[in-house]
Amino acid sequence: MRKAAIAIITGTGTKTFFQGGTKFRIGTPYGPSAIITLGRICNKNVALLPRHGETHEIPPHKINYRANIWALHTLNVKRILATNAVGAINLQYKPGDFIIPSDFIDFTKYRSLTFYDDAPVTHVDVSNLYCPELREHLFKSAKQKINRIWNDAVYLCTEGPRYESPAEIRMYRSFGCDVVGMTGLPEAVLAHELNICYSTLCFVSNMAAGIKKRISTDEVAEEGQKLGNIIKETLFETITHIPRKRNCICSRALEGARV
């Protein structure tokens, strides 16, 4: 039976993390998942899921986030380490910096955002959406390899696929957002709704709109490829050192959530 306690969800420029392994899609009540590869890292089964597909054919607003997270849930995944390319809103950041978000603002518009569309009505608490235990281990591993790593950032998610306007970025900055991306949500919330720990290692691929003259997808992909090895090493290091038993409260995310 296919099983993995840990999953890695990769994004732009960082999709090839291991050679070999078993590849498959999983059928879910929400449609088929993206292709998942099951491999071994440090004697642990790990499921790798490139959210844009293996050839980067799925744009951010068309990713089937529910199918992907449900598929990982059926593999018995309890922890997800993700990676996202982001634009920097915070002027202290610069391209090549790494960010571990601790909070978020969701500005997506048309995505299926929950597993709980029907009774019982369920309002999940997201006060600690990003697992504090996973974040701590990710930060510890990252600090060994990365000079510029920020551990306490607010991630803003837009619908995409266009980049943001300079006026939008000014507004997001006034809201206290540090970085902007198109794929972090509802992915993290859906994981939380299924009691799965979730943390993400973001890398700054570009300064956000209005800070520089224009944004190009080429520079986002280039930065991802440049940083791909560090991201891989950091995630593998985290997987090596994280204890098997969870010491966080993510497994109880639904306590008190149902009407």
250: contact with Zn ion by CB under 5 A: yes
With contact defined as beta carbons under 8 Å apart, do 157 and 104 qualify? yes
Looking at beta carbons, which pairs linking 117-120 to residues 24 or more positions away fall under 8 Å? 120/258, 120/259
Nearer to Zn ion, 153 or 253 (CB): 253
178-217 mask for Zn ion (x: CB under 5 A)? -------------------x--------------------
CA 37/CA 243 separation, integer angstroms: 23
Q: What letter would DSSP give residue 128?
A: T
Number of residues forming the site for Zn ion (CB under 5 A): 4
Query: Which residue stretch of 49-57, 87-95, 126-134, 148-156 sits at the interface with Zn ion (rule: CB under 5 A)?
Result: 126-134
CA 240/CA 11 separation, integer angstroms: 21
With contact defined as beta carbons under 8 Å apart, do 38 and 2 qualify? yes
Query: Which residue stretch of 4-12, 19-27, 146-154, 244-252 sits at the interface with Zn ion (rule: CB under 5 A)?
Result: 244-252
Footprint of Zn ion on residues 127-146 (CB under 5 A)? 131
Nearer to Zn ion, 53 or 132 (CB): 132
Query: Which residue stretch of 62-70, 96-104, 183-191, 246-254 sits at the interface with Zn ion (rule: CB under 5 A)?
Result: 246-254
Query: Which residue stretch of 62-70, 95-103, 220-228, 241-249 sits at the interface with Zn ion (rule: CB under 5 A)?
Result: 241-249
With contact defined as beta carbons under 8 Å apart, do 8 and 237 qualify? no
Number of neighbours of residue 159 by Cβ within 10 angstroms: 14
Q: Where on the chain is the footprint of Zn ion (CB under 5 A)?
A: 131, 197, 248, 250
